């Protein structure tokens, strides 16, 4: 702080004789308004080319500029200090637009960013309005919160359509379901989420799509869109047990391997098992998917079938029918197996989404859900600063295992 500034503050204190912080804040608010007013006056002077009350001189004679001041219009601006009323200067030709406060903007000094950060944290529009009132003594409506959040839609669309890298070693796909109001009814829709791991070993959310209840047909359209955005090759897809998943992947990325999530598979087959047998059933099943090699896993599966096949044939059959995409990870070293055998990576992302959306029983539109998930994603990825452990080792294995594919 300069000496001159300190002297101004001392003079102000002597003049006002403050007795409370409330009085200090009120004075700061008045100073803010005065400074804001002077900034706009200076902007208009720059626009017109002469100062207030000054006449423009041409060839030594006084003349009037072709454009000049034309009074003021009142405007109430919402700030973190509360609502401030300013007089916005006007020009005769209507050419001047305030730069410090946009023509249609009534929220100054980052107020919109504050509102968006609360929206991203999962607060309802009404709660945000109450919070802004409590913090800054500014009245805003739930409708205004919605309008402010709508401003990010172009940014969201740009992110959703951005070009992607040509190769992703691992891609995880899963959906999370929400209630959305549509045509005066409440329907269940899926937010289709795709998460990739780059060749540098970092996680990246490739996109979020909102569509009808989860289906392989919709996933096929998602895969085609990913290809059109630049993804030429994926080494391994990690997915849940949705019927038709493998056909959709094979249609767009025929060279890609598929690993069905082991955790999803366990949950799926356990629904056939009586509660009293669950503990032993799970222990015997663990011998299958924790085997060192696929051969030993198959032997464990045969023993598992001999023991449980007669009692729970559907549970055992689900492992046999899907063995080709359940056993994919056995072909890879431990460093890669840890990454691909389960979709926990994307389920972890979904857990964070649920924290943000838990206050919303029903979303009014698809876009309202898209906005909240996008803003939440921005906050989540800021924490993804570290790449996978032992990535150098993983990358070396990938170079050998996928030699001849896109450059590793």
Convert the pLDDT of each residue in 116-143 to its tens digit: 777 777 777 777 777 766 665 667 777 7
Domain check: are 70 and 175 in the same one? no
Domain check: are 89 and 207 in the same one? no
Q: How many domains does the chain have?
A: 2
Domain check: are 92 and 221 in the same one? no
Residues 41, 166: Cα–Cα separation, whole Å: 52
pLDDT band, residue 1 (cuts 50/70/90) = very low
pLDDT at 141: 73
Confirm whether 114 is domain-assigned. Answer: no
- Number of helices (H), then strands (E), belonging to the chain: the values are 17, 9
pLDDT at 109: 52
CB 202 within 8 A of CB 382: no
Confirm whether 120 is domain-assigned. Answer: no
| 292-to-288, 334, 338 alpha-carbon distances in Å | 9, 9, 13
Confirm whether 215 is domain-assigned. Answer: yes
pLDDT at 104: 43
Residues 322, 307: Cα–Cα separation, whole Å: 19
Confirm whether 139 is domain-assigned. Answer: no
pLDDT band, residue 173 (cuts 50/70/90) = very high
Residues 92, 69: Cα–Cα separation, whole Å: 6
Distance of CA 211 to the CA centre of its chain: 17
Residue (of 253, 170, 247, 187) closest to 216 by Cα position: 247
Q: Which of 78, 104, 130 is the last residue of a domain?
A: 104
Find the radius of gyration of the CA atoms of the chain. 31
* Per-residue pLDDT at 394 exceeds 90: yes
This prediction has a pTM of: 0.71
CB 239 within 8 A of CB 328: no
pLDDT (average), residues 148-166: 89
Alpha-carbon torsion angle 106, 111, 115, 116, nearest 10: 100
pLDDT at 33: 65
pLDDT band, residue 32 (cuts 50/70/90) = low
Confirm whether 407 is domain-assigned. Answer: no
Other Cβ atoms closer than 10 A to 180: 21
Comparing 359 with 1, the larger pLDDT belongs to: 359
Distance of CA 268 to the CA centre of its chain: 30
Place of tokens 């990576």: 345
Confirm whether 360 is domain-assigned. Answer: yes
pLDDT band, residue 350 (cuts 50/70/90) = very high
Confirm whether 160 is domain-assigned. Answer: no
pLDDT (average), residues 387-400: 91
pLDDT at 4: 43
Comparing 10 with 254, the larger pLDDT belongs to: 254
CB 117 within 8 A of CB 111: no
Domain check: are 175 and 86 in the same one? no
Domain check: are 197 and 333 in the same one? yes
Phi first, then psi, for residue 107 (nearest 5°) are -125, 115
Domain check: are 86 and 229 in the same one? no
What separation, in Å, do the N-terminal and C-terminal C-alpha atoms of the chain show?
54
pLDDT band, residue 106 (cuts 50/70/90) = very low
| 354-to-219, 331, 348, 372 alpha-carbon distances in Å | 22, 34, 10, 11
Comparing 76-80, 207-211, 361-365, 383-387, which segment has the lowest mean pLDDT?
76-80
182-234 tens-digit pLDDT? 888 999 999 999 999 999 999 999 999 998 877 888 999 999 999 999 999 99
CB 195 within 8 A of CB 172: yes
Q: Percent of the chain beyond pLDDT 90? A: 46
* Per-residue pLDDT at 28 exceeds 70: no
Place of tokens 């791991």: 197
Q: Which of 65, 89, 104 is the last residue of a domain?
A: 104
Comparing 168 with 6, the larger pLDDT belongs to: 168
How many residues in the chain? 408
Domain check: are 268 and 342 in the same one? yes
Calculate the average pLDDT of the chain.
Answer: 82
Domain check: are 95 and 173 in the same one? no
Domain extent at residue 356 = 166-401
Confirm whether 185 is domain-assigned. Answer: yes
Beta bridge partners of 89: 72
Residues 188, 363: Cα–Cα separation, whole Å: 10
Q: Which of 58, 79, 104 is the last residue of a domain?
A: 104
Angle between helix 294-308 and 313-321 (nearest 10): 160
pLDDT band, residue 57 (cuts 50/70/90) = low
pLDDT at 408: 47
Domain check: are 329 and 211 in the same one? yes
Please compute, for residue 103, the number of CA atoms within 13 A of its CA located in the half-sphere on the CB side: 5
DSSP alpha helix (H) spans, 253-365: 262-270, 278-289, 294-308, 313-321, 323-326, 334-340, 344-357
Domain check: are 238 and 387 in the same one? yes
Domain check: are 264 and 346 in the same one? yes
Residue (of 150, 80, 155, 75) closest to 114 by Cα position: 80
| Helix or strand run (H / E) with residue 142 | helix 142-150
pLDDT (average), residues 4-29: 61
Beta bridge partners of 230: none
């Amino acid at each position: 702080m300069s000496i001159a500034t300190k002297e101004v503050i001392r003079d102000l204190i002597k003049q006002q004789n403050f007795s409370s912080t409330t009085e200090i804040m009120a004075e700061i608010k008045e100073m803010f308004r005065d400074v804001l007013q002077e900034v706009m006056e200076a902007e208009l002077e720059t626009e017109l080319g002469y100062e207030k009350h000054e006449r423009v001189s041409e060839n030594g004679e006084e003349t009037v500029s072709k454009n000049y001041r034309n009074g003021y219009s009142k405007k109430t601006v919402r700030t973190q200090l509360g609502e401030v009323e300013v007089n916005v200067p006007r020009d005769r030709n209507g050419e001047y637009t305030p730069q410090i406060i946009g023509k249609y903007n009534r929220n100054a000094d980052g107020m919109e960013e504050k509102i968006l950060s609360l929206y991203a944290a999962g607060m309802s529009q009404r709660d945000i309005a109450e919070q802004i009132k409590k913090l800054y003594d500014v009245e805003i409506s739930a409708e205004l919160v919605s309008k402010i959040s709508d401003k990010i839609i172009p940014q969201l669309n740009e992110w959703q359509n951005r070009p992607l890298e040509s190769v992703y070693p691992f891609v995880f796909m899963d959906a999370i379901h929400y209630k959305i109001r549509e045509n005066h009814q409440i329907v269940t829709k899926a937010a289709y989420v795709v998460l990739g791991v780059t060749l540098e070993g970092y996680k990246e959310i490739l996109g979020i799509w909102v569509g009808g209840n989860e289906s392989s047909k919709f996933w096929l359209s998602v895969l085609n869109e990913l290809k059109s955005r630049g993804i030429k090759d994926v080494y391994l897809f990690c997915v849940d047990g949705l019927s038709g998943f493998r056909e959709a992947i094979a249609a767009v990325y025929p060279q890609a391997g598929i690993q069905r999530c082991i955790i999803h598979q366990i949950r799926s087959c356990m629904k056939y098992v009586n509660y009293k047998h669950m503990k032993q059933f799970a222990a015997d099943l663990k011998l299958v998917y924790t085997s060192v090699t696929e051969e030993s896993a198959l032997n464990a599966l045969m023993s598992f079938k001999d023991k449980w096949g007669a009692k729970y044939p559907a549970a055992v059959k689900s492992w046999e029918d899907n063995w080709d995409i359940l056993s994919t990870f056995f072909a890879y070293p431990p460093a890669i197996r840890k990454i691909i055998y389960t979709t926990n990576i994307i389920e972890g992302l979904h857990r964070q989404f649920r924290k943000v959306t838990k206050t919303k029983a029903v979303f009014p539109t698809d876009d309202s859900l898209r906005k909240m998930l996008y803003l939440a994603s921005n906050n989540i990825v800021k924490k993804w600063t570290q790449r996978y452990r032992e990535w150098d080792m993983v990358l070396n294995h990938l170079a050998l295992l996928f030699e001849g594919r896109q450059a590793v």
